[in-house]
Each structure stands twice: as C-alpha cells, then as structure tokens.
Amino acid sequence: MSASGAGDSSQAARHVRAWYLLVAALGIHVADEASTGFLEFYNPLVLRIRDAWPAFPMPTFTFGVWLAGLVALVAALALAGPLVRRSAPGTRTASWILTTIMMLNGTGHMLGSLYFGRWLPGTTSAPLLLLASAMLARATLQRRRRGSTPAPASGT
C-alpha cells in the first residue's frame, strides 16, 4: 500500500469514527429529550408562534410519531457509516449537513435555556452534540483537504 493509501485509510477511519460519534450523540440527545418532556415544551411553543405568524413551517408531533421518526433517523445515519468510510458520493456533503444541523440544534437548546431562563429539555446533551459536531467537521475538512490534493505525477 502506498503512503497516500495509508493516509486515505487513516482519514477514512477518522471520518467514520466522527460520524458514528455524532450519530451516538444524537441518539443520546433523543433519549434526553424524550425523558425530559421535550414535546411538552416544543408543541405549545410552535402553536404560540403559529398564532403570531401563521406561515411558521414547524409541525407539532405526537410522542410516538416524533420518537419513531427520530429513532429511524438515528438508525439510518448509523447504517450510512460504511458509505462514509468509503467516501461514497454525497457523504462529505451529508457530513457537513449533519454537522450544521446538530450544531444549530445544540446551540438552540443552550440559547433557548438562556432566553427562557430555565433548563430546557434536551439541554443536558446539547454540549455533546456541539463537541461531536465539531469533531465531524474537523474530520470531514481533513479528509477533503487530503482527498482534493492531486497525487504527484510519476515518471519520465
């Protein structure tokens, strides 16, 4: 195996580990929200916002539908790990999208707690989302840098 092949393999391993770490953090976050009454806060907030702004696009949920959807999302993201390892088309973009959404999610919980003056459901695990998101961003950026550098030309 060439030196660049070993580097590619190392970068792939870092990328997929960071992917799985963020997926695990999301799973923990879902459990945190489910066990601390997230929908009891979220649904009334959405309804109040819709009263003031009818075009507000966020839905309300029943607990079963909400939890099943998030469990399915976490499972699908976990199943995508082998694609991330292989750097299948779209996985770097998916890494950036997941990173961005989870950073916004974690930040929203923390800033929401400050705004509302109380610890909101899901805030306990929000720092884990932020840390895991930063790790995935770093691994994705490093893999992209190495993957975008052309191999030196051989020969004569």
For residues 18 and 132, give the distance between their C-alpha atoms in angstroms, rounded to a whole number.
Answer: 7
The average confidence (pLDDT) of the chain is 90
130: three-class secondary structure by DSSP: helix
The percent of the chain in helix, strand and coil, each rounded to the nearest 5, is 75, 0, 25
Say whether pLDDT at 153 is over 70. no
pLDDT at 150 over 50: no
What confidence tier does 7 reach under pLDDT thresholds 50, 70, 90? low
**pLDDT over 80 at 145, yes or no:** no
Average pLDDT over residues 11-19: 95
| pLDDT of 144 strictly over 80 | no
Domain locations in the chain as residue ranges: 3-144
What is the pLDDT, as a whole number, of residue 143? Answer: 84
Q: What is the pTM of this model?
A: 0.85
Cα–Cα distance for residue pair 43/20, rounded to 1 Å: 30
Residue 6 is predicted with a pLDDT of 57
Residue 25 clears pLDDT 50, i.e. is over it: yes
